[in-house]
Copies of this chain bind each other. A is one copy, B any other.
């Protein structure tokens, strides 16, 4: 099982503005790199905050990358995974459009009618945890379904929880050459935050891409 977190931030660590509006932080070369990382993984995961804010499709759009997946016996698209304790994913969200398999991770407290609506839209709902998605159990469920290489694309709440649970193996962060600012803007790692035992990462790569820089870490 390898969990690879990938995100793009401003120089000040923000994922988006305080309005949580998506912003083109990186450029075409980094977009292409993100597609390649997606294509190399069994699953692509986000938190429901990202679904609600950005409505991403999380699919591999490049036909060559899809063909490469099929050549190595993989399904054409990685499975999309949403961490969504209360089943808040809207039934008309792009991740439920059927363009790729989708698993919505919920907690056992999730309202049954919303779970049913998500299932009716064609996704598989997996219940792990009581009030909130229990991430170690969630990755166990993914592994049982053969999803062992998982890319996480955000947002900051999910990424913090993953670091807090010691579940991140690799981190890549594209730092775009802009400042977003804002006490309330989402950052790469939000949540409660650490006050001790800060994760000690190992910087393994520094690469200029577009007009920013990609930093890679082993975690």
Contact = CB atoms under 8 A, between A and B. Distances in A.
A202 interface: yes
B11 A14 contact: no
B189 A179 contact: yes
A195 to B, nearest CB: 5
Interface stretch (A16-24, A30-38, A103-111, A137-145): A16-24
A26 to B, nearest CB: 13
Given A11-B13, A160-B181, A160-B182, 7 more contacts: A164-B181, A177-B201, A178-B198, A178-B200, A178-B201, A180-B189, A213-B215
Interface of A: 9-14, 17-19, 21, 23, 156, 160, 163-164, 171, 173, 175, 177-185, 187-195, 198-203, 206, 208, 211-213, 215, 217
13 contacts: A11-B217, A12-B189, A14-B189, A163-B179, A179-B199, A180-B198, A181-B192, A183-B187, A183-B190, A183-B193, A185-B193, A187-B187, A203-B211
